[in-house]
């Protein structure tokens, strides 16, 4: 079911992402202050937005899991958070590279945007150890859902707190209409769409893999074979 339409989605994702980066380099004008370095913006910011939205999505699935008791929602929540964490690594690394190029430091510890993202990231780094420290599958799913909801609620609160902060060196992108010239805005929006498509593709790819794996193990059990669950075991 999850694998259906995955190939066209993957092709569209590749086309949109390639188009987005082409727009960023050949269509969007060069930034007057930062020059070429500002092009990092088109990969770093969309990745950060999609990563944070993924965490919120994980919380939404967790709520559904607690409401219905359906383990499929728990699996969805797990995959959403897992992918957001991977993108989070990308956000921190590309952000550090940009910070080094722009400010001369890999990380600025008194910058609310940077520190708050790091806190959110580290918070979610606890998700998997917490999850796999619990052996009972039902308890594991329940505790993980509670964690996902609590941490997910922290994401928008964190966003608001950062926006209310007075002092910052990190530029503002959302909510300031004059922040980007039209050509840059178009390149940014296409990049954001590409990143969202990448997240969707990887999400469906991962769900397909996990569901197929679960079905294979279920079949193996029914046929009397030994089932060995690997390290990458999905929520069981």
Instruction: Give the one residue of 100, 172, 183, 236 binding another protein; rule: CB under 8 A.
Output: 100
First and final C-alpha spacing in the chain: 19
Shortest Å distance, C-beta 59 to another protein: 22
Contact 40, 94 (CB under 8 A): yes
Instruction: Give the one residue of 16, 43, 49, 85 binding another protein; rule: CB under 8 A.
Output: 43
Tokens of 232: 């990458």
Contact 31, 38 (CB under 8 A): yes
Asked if 97 interacts with another protein (CB under 8 A), we say yes
Q: Of the listed pieces 71-79, 105-113, 143-151, 206-214, which binds another protein according to CB under 8 A? A: 206-214
* DSSP helix/strand/coil, 35: strand
Q: Which of positions 125-164 make contact with another protein (CB under 8 A)?
A: none
Tokens of 4: 């259906």
Q: Of the listed pieces 62-70, 93-101, 107-115, 169-177, which binds another protein according to CB under 8 A? A: 93-101
Helix 137-164 to helix 41-68 angle (10° resolution) is 140
Shortest Å distance, C-beta 232 to another protein: 6
Shortest Å distance, C-beta 98 to another protein: 7
Using alpha carbons, list the distances in angstroms from residue 160 to 44, 104, 171, 177, 235.
Answer: 20, 28, 15, 18, 32
Helix (H) or strand (E) holding 137: helix 137-164
| Residues contacting another protein: total by CB under 8 A | 39
Binding residues vs another protein (CB under 8 A): 21, 25-26, 30, 34-37, 39-40, 43-44, 47, 86-87, 89-90, 93-94, 97-98, 100-101, 198, 202, 205-206, 209, 212-213, 216-217, 219-220, 223-225, 230, 232
């Amino acid at each position: 079911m999850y694998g259906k339409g995955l190939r066209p989605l993957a092709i569209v994702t590749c086309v949109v992402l390639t188009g987005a980066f082409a727009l960023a380099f050949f269509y969007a004008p060069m930034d007057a202050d930062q020059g070429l370095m500002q092009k990092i913006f088109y990969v770093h910011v969309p990745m950060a937005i999609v990563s944070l939205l993924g965490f919120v999505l994980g919380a939404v699935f967790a709520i559904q899991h607690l409401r219905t008791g359906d383990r499929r929602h728990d699996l969805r929540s797990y995959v959403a958070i897992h992918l957001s964490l991977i993108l989070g690594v990308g956000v921190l690394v590309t952000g550090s590279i940009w910070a080094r190029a722009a400010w001369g430091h890999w990380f600025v510890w008194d910058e609310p945007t940077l520190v708050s993202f790091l806190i959110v990231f580290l918070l979610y780094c606890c998700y998997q150890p917490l999850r796999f420290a619990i052996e009972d599958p039902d308890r594991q799913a329940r505790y993980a859902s509670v964690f996902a909801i609590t941490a997910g609620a922290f994401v928008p609160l964190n966003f608001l707190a950062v926006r209310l902060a007075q002092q910052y060196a990190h530029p503002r992108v959302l909510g300031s209409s004059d922040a980007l010239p039209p050509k840059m805005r178009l390149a940014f929006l296409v990049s954001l769409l590409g990143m969202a498509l990448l997240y969707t593709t990887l999400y469906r790819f991962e769900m397909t893999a996990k569901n197929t794996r679960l079905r294979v193990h279920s079949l193996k059990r029914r046929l009397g074979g030994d089932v060995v669950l690997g390290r990458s075991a999905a929520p069981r």
